Amino acid sequence: MAFTTLNDLLTRFVDYPPERIRLRPAPGTATKQDVLDIDRTEGKLCELIDGVLVEKAVGFKESLLAAYLIELLGPFVRSRKLGIVLGADGTVELFPGQVRIPDVAFYSWAKLPGGRAPTDPIPELHPDLAIEVLSKSNSRGEMFGKRKDYFFAGVRLVWLVDPRTETVAVYTSPEDVTTLTIADTLTGGDVLPGFTVSVADIFTADQRPTL
């Protein structure tokens, strides 16, 4: 996408935190190789959105909740030989020019070429389930754009885990959502039938168990 003026850029990324939008390479010119180069030289994860590099939001508690979900999903998926589960550095090119990094993702074997994980560091691939653990700097507009990319690419299910409201928003399209609270149970739906976890358990994963 070409950005002729600063206004073009601001209009496209109106709801994105400006401190996470990188100006080098020039907006509209960044490539997948730039994503790899910044990871290698600076140790920072960036998504590529319409030729613009946007640093991925990070946080300690968010990482812990993502790790907990991986601990739950991994054994479930492996025991049933369903596919693989990736963490927050599992960068993928959903479609040409759009590189995204789910916090947690499930890929069925059918999605993986030859039934094996690709060796390309940023493969052209989309998960069956994408999970985002929201950080303070994740805006509504940013997450809506990310959901649109996910579902356009063929993702079947998206979970937005919000530590601040202790809710999980379950999306089956960019706008079709069911919001679960700590009184509810999260399920894998048609994507991971049989998987269940209490929402309350997710949001107490950072607390020391009572003896």
Average predicted confidence (pLDDT) for the chain? 94
Instruction: Tell me the per-residue pLDDT of 134-188, one tens digit each, with 9 for 90 and over.
Output: 999 999 999 999 999 999 999 999 999 999 999 999 999 999 999 999 999 999 9
Q: Are 94 and 153 in contact (CB under 8 A)?
A: yes
pTM: 0.94
The contacts of residue 195 (CB under 8 Å, 6+ apart) are 72, 73, 76, 187, 188
Q: How confident is the model at residue 211 (pLDDT cuts 50, 70, 90)?
A: low
- The structural domains of the chain, ordered by start, are 6-55 (no CATH), 60-202 (3.90.1570.10)
The per-residue pLDDT for 6 is 84
Bridge-based pairing of strands 129-133 and 157-162 is parallel
> Can you tell me the mean pLDDT for 185-211?
92
Q: How confident is the model at residue 5 (pLDDT cuts 50, 70, 90)?
A: confident
